[in-house]
Amino acid sequence: MSYVTVTSPQLVLSLGLMALAIAVSSRNRLGLEKDLLVGTFRAAVQLLAVGLLLTILFQNEHPIGVLGLIGVMVLAAGWTAARRIAHGPGTGVLFRYATLAVLVAGVVVLVPVFTFVIRPARWYEARLLIPISGMILSNAMNGVALVFERVFASIHDDAPAVEQLLSLGASPKQAVERHTRAAMNAALRPTINGLLTVGLVALPGMMTGQIVSGTAPDQAVRYQLVIMYQLVAVAAVAGALAARFARSLSFDGREQLRTFADRRVR
């Protein structure tokens, strides 16, 4: 069994799908035409560049190259998770904490899997390490961003109640516990929903890609299960770390609630 190739002319033909989306936006006056057009070509440039980079990396596989690329992915994930957070301390401060949360969660989830479950012939095997790391780090990034956004926004909106609890003798942890718990629940919910509906609503991306490329369905299912379990675990770890960091940043050294300006990028 072999995969079906997509030639350059066939790829160009697929642009008709984006033209359809642009036409729908224009017809319904959604104002998304520019974003769709820019997104179409930006996605193509980014993915083609990544494809070229991965081809070179696969052909010249080396631990430094593989770890270097993963390091760039961690930094990009941390920066993305720290941006556009309303009522937070700012991107410059949050970037350090977001990157640390993504890195720690990624290591906690990826190292055991590549040590005991998948076990590639070489620990730095790029074709396995990079795609799987990308999926895991992306999920960690989304979890951290969601927790930061929810914790800072909910504490800001509920500041009088938080300060009242502090005045009654509650610790900072106790004063914002319901806010952090709700944020962590929200961060885990999409992954849990995916876990509950996988195979019923849709076939996951990795499983679909493997089957299309010629992998036996039973093996594709096993890989997908490992990935799903990793996604849940990394969301839990990253969300817990982000909640802890957000709580710490919300109070000063005297355990008084900090006030942050609304830094949302519109």
SS3 state at 119: coil
Is 206 exposed, middle or buried, given 0-12, 13-18 or 19+ CB atoms closer than 10 A?
Answer: middle
Crossing angle between the packed helical segments 91-112 and 63-82, to the nearest 10 degrees: 130
Is 187 exposed, middle or buried, given 0-12, 13-18 or 19+ CB atoms closer than 10 A?
Answer: buried
CB 21 within 8 A of CB 35: no
- pLDDT for 207 equals 78
Predicted model pTM: 0.85
104-155 pLDDT, tens digit per residue, is: 999 999 999 999 999 888 889 998 899 999 999 999 999 999 999 999 999 9
Instruction: State how far the Cα of 151 lies from the Cα of 98, in Å rounded to an integer.
Output: 14
- pLDDT for 98 equals 97
Is 233 exposed, middle or buried, given 0-12, 13-18 or 19+ CB atoms closer than 10 A?
Answer: buried
- pLDDT for 202 equals 64
- pLDDT for 67 equals 94
Residues of the chain with pLDDT under 70: 1-3, 201-203, 261-266
